[in-house]
Amino acid sequence: MKSGKVYLVGAGPGDEGLLTVKASKLIQSADVIVYDYLVNEKLLSDCRNDCEKIYVGKEPHFHAKSQEEIEAILVKKAKQGMLVVRLKGGDPFIFGRGGEEATTLAKDKIDFEIVPGITAAIAAAAYAGIPLTHRDFSSSVCFLTGHENPDKHEFRVKFKTFAETGGTLCIYMGIGKIEPICQKLIDGGLPAKTPAAVVQWATLPTQKCVFSNLAKISSVVNHDGITSPAIIFVGEAAKKKKQLHWFDSKPLFGNRIVVTRRNEQSGELTKLLENNGAEVLELPLIKITKSCDAGIADEVFKEIGSYEWLIFTSTNGVKYFFDVFLEKFKDIRSIGFLKIAVIGASTGSELRKFHIWPDLVPKESSADALGKALIERESIDNIKILVITGNQNRDTLIKKLHDERAIVDTLQVYKTEKTDLKNHPAAKKFREEGADAITFASSSAVKSFIDQAASLQMNKEATKPKCFSIGKQTSDTMRKANIPIEAEAKKATLDALVSSLIENL
Ligand code: SAH
């Protein structure tokens, strides 16, 4: 049997982008991932479908598994010949018990490697604008633990000694004891006015920072309800420097925004919102899957040369049409010389992915505008048109084409179904805490949102969201459903939708 190996891997502080390339590759190839409470679960989405994921907890006051149990899992899985990734928040060797795990592996003669990660203090300092060293006021950095020795009820660290370093102190796991820690530092000789800062959930959209001084920081922390996980910074470096606040000054920082697009497609909008600092709740309201009657597709493809126009009314239409088409034909040129119209810019972009340029893209993204643009361009009397659809039909467009006496065929290539939101974490958070905004990027997203209303009932205390629409058609559907519209994007594009959120939140 091939011998297994354990990688002790640092997952970084939370922001997915702060994972090393090496860690990312290991996550993709692991047989087993053993992970902690502070590991961002989004990082696990890149693992293999058959990868076993073992959560071992370690939340404060709640240990899902003891340290011995964790080590036993690592040894057992490696002995079974597996590639084991032991994924830890931050860096494995900074308050991560990586040393103990590596020692156990060495004793058991198990092959291992250690992959460092960005530790919380380094990340929190960067994201809160705290330069840990500075030529003028800090020549050293200390990483300390604020944890007490459980047997003796005294601190493991002699804070008094560290008060004398004159550098920046970064205190992990200290938030529950911040008052006595600050007092010890003052007793050790640090002036009560020494700057002190606390950063909670560093690098994530939920990051919170407070700045004060040694004497007052604990009451600020209590007042603002800051709890673990958080890092305490002490020293001149921890002075508030507004001009260094690049992260929490992003335009959508502090806003929780719901994305109601289909799961497969939400990525782009989510990325745009996150780049602007928002916390995104992706509600996968519907599931979209390929759905095409092979017999009908065969008939249509046999006659593909007889159509004058091919119309795509959605990006999914493009994606699944070519899925079906390229299963049958190897060469994209088999589609012939028909003209192609798309409903809007994003459907056009999807088409360009297949190196096909649309002949007609109406300025406005709506079925109405598409019909109108086609009729204005040329007579469609007695012309054969193929419309690619999902299971929700495109009556308005088809009626318009029929009115102009076109011969219209439709080909369904995908279907849309409701997802189960009862136990979905994002839906749960939405029900409990609400959101600052909901984005609707299509009429079908509005309809699915209404369909899912029963699973999205918010608590009384939850923040009531403002609703944003991507364009005219979506707004019409929202009005019909009595959803108040805070703003409609100036153009029906994701960029414009994000701009309207920035202007109105
Ligand atoms: N190995 C980890 C530290 C684990 S100890 C690392 O290198 O970062 C757990 C402590 O780390 C928490 O109590 C908190 O003090 C700190 N911490 C971890 N992630 C954090 C985050 N995103 N923001 C602020 N503090 C964090």
Rg of the chain over CA atoms, in angstroms?
Answer: 28
- pLDDT level of residue 213 (50, 70, 90 thresholds): very high
Per the listing, tokens 């959101």 go with 435
Ligand 1 near 14 CB (within 6 A): yes
The 10s digit of each residue's pLDDT in 441-457 is 988 889 889 999 999 99
- pLDDT level of residue 144 (50, 70, 90 thresholds): very high
Query: Measuring from atom 9 of ligand 1, which residue has the nearest CA?
Result: 173
User: In this predicted structure, what is the pLDDT of residue 236?
Assistant: 96
Catalytic residues: 36, 58, 173
Q: Which ligand 1 atom lies nearest to the CA of residue 202?
A: 23
How many residues are listed for the chain in this entry?
505
Q: What is the pTM of this model?
A: 0.78
Ligand 1 near 235 CB (within 6 A): no
Distance 157 CA to ligand 1 centre (A): 17
Ligand 1 near 95 CB (within 6 A): yes
* Nearest CA-CA partner of 86 in 25, 5, 180: 5
Q: Which ligand 1 atom lies nearest to the CA of residue 13?
A: 22
Domains plus CATH for the chain? 5-118 (3.40.1010.10), 122-244 (3.30.950.10), 256-285+419-504 (3.40.50.10090), 289-417 (3.40.50.10090)
Ligand 1 near 231 CB (within 6 A): yes
Ligand 1 near 173 CB (within 6 A): yes
* Residue 59 per-residue DSSP state: B
User: In this predicted structure, what is the pLDDT of residue 444?
Assistant: 82
Q: What kind and span of H or E run contains 205?
A: none
User: In this predicted structure, what is the pLDDT of residue 287?
Assistant: 83
**How many Cβ atoms are within 10 Å of 400's Cβ, its own excluded?**
20
- At 145, give phi and psi (nearest 5°): -105, 140
Q: Which ligand 1 atom lies nearest to the CA of residue 96?
A: 1
Q: Is the distance from CB of 11 to CB of 39 less than 8 angstroms? A: yes
Joined tokens for residue 276: 């602007």
The 10s digit of each residue's pLDDT in 155-212 is 889 998 899 898 999 999 999 999 999 999 999 999 999 999 999 999 999 999 999 9
The 10s digit of each residue's pLDDT in 284-340 is 888 888 999 999 999 999 999 999 999 999 899 999 999 999 999 989 899 988 999
Q: Residue 340's beta-bridge partner residues?
A: 310
SS3 for 168? strand
* Nearest CA-CA partner of 439 in 498, 479, 365: 498
User: In this predicted structure, what is the pLDDT of residue 64?
Assistant: 75
What residues contact residue 235 under an 8 Å CB cut-off, 6+ apart? 137, 138, 166, 167, 168, 169, 194, 195
Residue 317 — left, alpha, or beta (φ > 0 → left; ψ -120 to 50 → alpha)?
A: alpha
Q: Which ligand 1 atom lies nearest to the CA of residue 38?
A: 19
Per the listing, tokens 């994924």 go with 87
In angstroms, the Cα distances linking 253 to 139, 199, 203, 273, 500 are: 32, 15, 11, 9, 15
Distance CA 233, CA 214 (A): 10
Query: Measuring from atom 11 of ligand 1, which residue has the nearest CA?
Result: 172
